[in-house]
Structure 1
Amino acid sequence: MALIPATILTGFLGAGKTTLLNRILREPHGFRIAVIENEFGQENIDNEILVQDSNEQIVEMSNGCICCTVRGDLIVGLTALAQKRNAGLLDFDHLVIETTGLANPGPVAQTFFMDEEVAMHYLLDAVVTVVDARHGMQQLDEHEEAQRQVGFADKLLLSKTDLVDPSGVRGLTDRLKRINPRAPVGTADFGKVPISEVLDLRGFNLNDKLEIDPDFLAAAGHAEHDDHDHDGHECDDACGHEHAHHDHHHAHHSDDIAAFAFTSDRPFDPARLDEFLGGLVQVYGPRMLRYKGVLWMNGGDRKVVFQGVHQMMGTDLGAKWPDSEPRYSKMVFIGKNLPQETFIRGLEQCLV
């Protein structure tokens, strides 16, 4: 039986997750979606309750979706849903997990890789984060959880943009792209968003493309070019230092969680790179939220793709390098107070 794609829906308190979720559950989109959430929102879901006990309740929606509240261990809830599906008691082809507004999505994402039973039934499709356009700047300033939710995202959706002027939306969007340049930014006002922007994003899958914001990559600079500031400190737009080229929207915002990129047109020595990345994960793993790369290995004719969450890192062989395409390596790291210079210099030492 094919793996069930799972989407983690996250966002800070009041961002509009439940509004989006209710819209998804009620619209006739043709998908059979199961939803796991820690608690139902204030809006009543007044449908027939199929199963109810001390640990969970499952509500069937009119369009074939189901909603499940799990008040215990997530692994237990995921396994129970899969078992009921296999037994023919439930019918669904997608899963959405709505986290609480103060949740760190990291442990939820790790569940899909750490537990064998869960990995047998589910494929983590993407982390989708809803950001309140009106309060987002303040929440990012004051709450590390808000920064983590943005840093983990494969897709960012802005809500309440009708309450903010265009310059405010642009400023917030720029900041989100500096924290996480690999996540496209869309809108979800009043929960209105095409289902294709929430499900089947394949954002967590290994593939031979690294989608990061081109403007960010240009700003971050080529790793072998001179991208130091005047005091010898290596910076990019994510570093939090104030530079003359920063615009007035974000010069004063310094985020603990930020991103930086590495690019090179020289191949990596596989053994040196493997040893260095292993050391990075051991030392900085808890602070490394998301990282991903498309790599050119010395002597290899295929792209090597790697990605990770905290201490868990995976690699896979991608497509063959086309004769017409210049070979390169491109990597992005998103984390909390990561020593960018240590990463960049170490990666340079792994090049042939």
Structure 2
Amino acid sequence: MNATNASMIPVTILTGFLGAGKTTLLKRILSEQHGQRIAVIENEFGPENIDNELLIQDGEEEIVELSNGCVCCTVRGDLMRALNDLYQRRADGNVKFDRVIIETTGMANPGPVCQTFFVDDQIAAHYRLDAIITIVDAKHGMETLDQQAESQQQIGFADRILISKKDLVSDEEYQALRNRIVKINPRASISPVHFGEADINELLDLGGFNLDAILDINPDFLKDEDEHHHHHEHHHEHEHEHGEHCGSDCGHHHHQAPHQDEIGAFVFRSRKAFDPERLEDFLGGITQVFGPDLLRYKGILYLKGVNRRMLFQGVHMMMGVEPGKPWAAKEKPESKIVFIGRKLPQEIFTQGLENCLV
């Protein structure tokens, strides 16, 4: 993954719950005078178009130039073909754009879209995946997470999470939703957003897939895991039993119980060095077995015989490692890896990684 090339076109994937406000945000991007030339790709998985009045369609793929310098492109077929086509048109001087935003439909798992940038050599040569942004609706967020597995995946994949419609819920409800999101994904930054005021520059150049960026893990998440872990599990079982027997009037009380979402995260840390060969074998093995359930994983590795940190990340089965900064003289080297995925067996991962330590 050669993310260093400045001539590469940065790409942002925009995903989120149905009705959370993706289209509102896109309309702003496509109409506002923000001085950025952006190509927006609407990734159509369903027959109905997301936003008819925004686009003029005739034929399979339509590219529309807009007055503010943006370009809009609707994909009926294959995303790879559309990206290559856009690049070709840009190279030939037929369209101008500096970056791409891809909107996925509300029901889509962003994984396959994300993998496109690592699988196809031609796309990997021209485009650089910058970040995945997920929009969550504060009003219906809890319900959507309960009912739709895709919404948990969208949060698991995200580098930045925007919560819309915060003004429609109480502070308690907002905090409960936020806490739940942190449990699913401790490394994404979370902020409430009013689409009338969202700064477009805050959505671009986040460097979510740039390995030089510091590995950020929400510190509250770690604290919570260590201190309250057993309490939470026990507490939840109790609530569950209680909820099953007490009829409809205690629904609200039951709702306060911690949610056991399918998608979750855990962190592995060690001050001991990894044996590089054993680690490579182990990571290769777990990505084969658990690849479909591993959404994002990312970390700093302390390897025996290597005097600098190695930076590593992956999406599903695809994994990349590249050298980072040398360890400073007074620094205590430490490995730190976060795994986000569906029902991952934490013990198997932890034991396996411990077996790879020198």
How does the TM-score come out when normalised to structure 1?
0.89
Tell me how far apart the structure 2 counterparts of residues 109 and 251 of structure 1 sit (CA, whole Å): 33
Gaps of 5+ in 2: 1-5, 239-252
Alignment size in residue pairs: 335
Mapping for residues 88-237 of structure 1, pairs under 5 Å:
88-207=93-212, 209-221=214-226, 229=230
Tell me how far apart the structure 2 counterparts of residues 4 and 85 of structure 1 sit (CA, whole Å): 11
Tell me how far apart the structure 2 counterparts of residues 24 and 31 of structure 1 sit (CA, whole Å): 9
TM-aligned CA distance change 1:57 to 1:240, over 3 Å: farther
Tell me how far apart the structure 1 counterparts of residues 229 and 225 of structure 2 sit (CA, whole Å): 10
Could you tell me how far 1:351 is from its partner in structure 2? Answer: 1.2
Name the aligned partner's letter for residue 242 of structure 1. H
TM-aligned CA distance change 1:312 to 1:191, over 3 Å: farther
How does the TM-score come out when normalised to structure 2?
0.88
Aligned to 1:64: 69
Aligned to 2:342: 336
Aligned to 2:3: none
Which of the residues 17, 21, 36 maps onto 1:16? Answer: 21
Name the aligned partner's letter for residue 327 of structure 1. P
Q: Secondary structure at the match of 2:296?
A: strand
Name the aligned partner's letter for residue 128 of structure 1. I
Aligned to 1:324: 330
Query: Does the CA contact (< 8 Å) of 2:23 and 2:51 recur in 1?
Result: no
Could you tell me how far 1:316 is from its partner in structure 2? Answer: 0.5
Q: Secondary structure at the match of 1:338?
A: coil
Query: Does the CA contact (< 8 Å) of 2:207 and 2:213 recur in 1?
Result: no
Aligned to 1:35: 40
Kindly indicate which of the two structures has a greater share of residues assigned to helix.
2
Tell me how far apart the structure 2 counterparts of residues 240 and 285 of structure 1 sit (CA, whole Å): 30
Aligned to 1:242: 236
Query: Does the CA contact (< 8 Å) of 2:43 and 2:75 recur in 1?
Result: yes
Could you tell me how far 1:53 is from its partner in structure 2? Answer: 4.7
Q: Secondary structure at the match of 1:29?
A: coil
Aligned to 2:290: 284
Could you tell me how far 1:88 is from its partner in structure 2? Answer: 0.3
Tell me how far apart the structure 1 counterparts of residues 33 and 187 of structure 2 sit (CA, whole Å): 31
Could you tell me how far 1:58 is from its partner in structure 2? Answer: 1.6
TM-aligned CA distance change 1:248 to 1:347, over 3 Å: farther
Name the aligned partner's letter for residue 265 of structure 1. R
Could you tell me how far 1:240 is from its partner in structure 2? Answer: 9.8
Q: Secondary structure at the match of 1:76?
A: helix
